[in-house]
């Protein structure tokens, strides 16, 4: 099978950016030595502030994702700008020793340019020790004048292209062709 990339196609206005909030293992709970690989022990509460750019588009959805491990009880709370964000710290009691990916959609209007805040803690006194890592926020920024000029470009034939950035990667259409299909296409181009 041959992978062929063609540049162009429909583009979604605006640009997606990301912000890394936690890049190292953080251990929440009440027993500092209960998890062997636990990284930095924080106790029962984690708080962080982070800045978002002035061209953030707060009227677009955003996405938080992180990795968690040892999360067994459904009593974790994740607040974004003092609002509870459900679904991101769901328990996974059957897989307590495996890393799990948690993802949550951030509703429109919850983020703002400048300072934003998250709090992670417990809804009750059951401090189920768990670890969180790689907390990342994906968000959209507002379209600039240069983005608005065209939203659809013709699909020129480009076979093989060096990918230097996420923008280059996001602008590619990918077709997977069987080798016989590629030979047929090459023959028709030669005529």
Kind of pairing, strands 40-43 and 26-28?
parallel
Q: Within this chain, do residues 183 and 132 fall inside the same structural domain, yes or no?
A: no
Q: Within this chain, do residues 24 and 97 fall inside the same structural domain, yes or no?
A: yes
Q: Within this chain, do residues 76 and 41 fall inside the same structural domain, yes or no?
A: yes
92-126: per-residue pLDDT in tens? Answer: 878 778 899 999 999 999 999 999 999 999 999 99
Rounded to whole angstroms, the Cα distance separating 175 from 180 reads: 14
Write the CATH number for 134. Answer: 2.60.120.1200
Q: Within this chain, do residues 104 and 151 fall inside the same structural domain, yes or no?
A: no
pLDDT of residue 97: 84
Which ranges in 12-161 belong to alpha helices (H)? 145-148
Q: Within this chain, do residues 136 and 62 fall inside the same structural domain, yes or no?
A: yes
- Per the CB < 8 A criterion, the answer to whether 56 and 112 are in contact is yes
- Centroid of chain to Cα 82: 21
136-156: per-residue pLDDT in tens? Answer: 999 999 976 555 444 444 433
Domain carrying residue 45? 15-141
Rounded to whole angstroms, the Cα distance separating 135 from 23 reads: 7
Q: Within this chain, do residues 61 and 33 fall inside the same structural domain, yes or no?
A: yes
How many other CB atoms sit within 10 Å of the CB of residue 64?
22
**Could you give the number of structural domains in the chain?**
2
Q: Within this chain, do residues 32 and 68 fall inside the same structural domain, yes or no?
A: yes
pLDDT of residue 178: 45
Q: Within this chain, do residues 40 and 104 fall inside the same structural domain, yes or no?
A: yes
- Binned at pLDDT 50, 70 and 90, residue 157 comes out as very low
Rounded to whole angstroms, the Cα distance separating 101 from 69 reads: 9
Q: Within this chain, do residues 58 and 132 fall inside the same structural domain, yes or no?
A: yes
Q: Within this chain, do residues 37 and 87 fall inside the same structural domain, yes or no?
A: yes
**pTM of full prediction above 0.75:** no
Q: Within this chain, do residues 6 and 54 fall inside the same structural domain, yes or no?
A: no
């Amino acid at each position: 099978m041959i992978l062929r990339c063609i540049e162009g196609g429909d583009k979604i206005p605006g640009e997606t950016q990301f912000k890394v909030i936690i890049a190292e293992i953080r251990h929440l709970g009440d027993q500092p030595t209960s998890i062997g690989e636990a990284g930095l022990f924080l106790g029962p509460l984690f708080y962080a502030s982070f800045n978002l750019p002035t061209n953030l588009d707060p009227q677009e959805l955003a996405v938080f994702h992180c990795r968690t491990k040892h999360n067994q009880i459904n009593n974790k709370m994740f607040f974004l700008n003092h609002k509870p964000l459900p679904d991101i710290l769901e328990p996974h009691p059957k897989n307590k020793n495996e890393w799990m990916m948690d993802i949550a959609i951030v509703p429109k209007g919850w983020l703002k340019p400048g300072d934003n805040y998250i709090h992670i803690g417990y809804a009750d006194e059951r401090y189920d020790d768990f670890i969180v890592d790689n907390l990342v926020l994906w968000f959209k920024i507002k379209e600039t004048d240069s983005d608005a000029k065209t939203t659809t470009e013709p699909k020129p034939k480009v076979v093989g292209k060096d990918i230097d950035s996420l923008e280059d990667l996001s602008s590619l259409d990918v077709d997977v062709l069987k080798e016989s299909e590629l030979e047929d296409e090459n023959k028709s181009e030669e005529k």
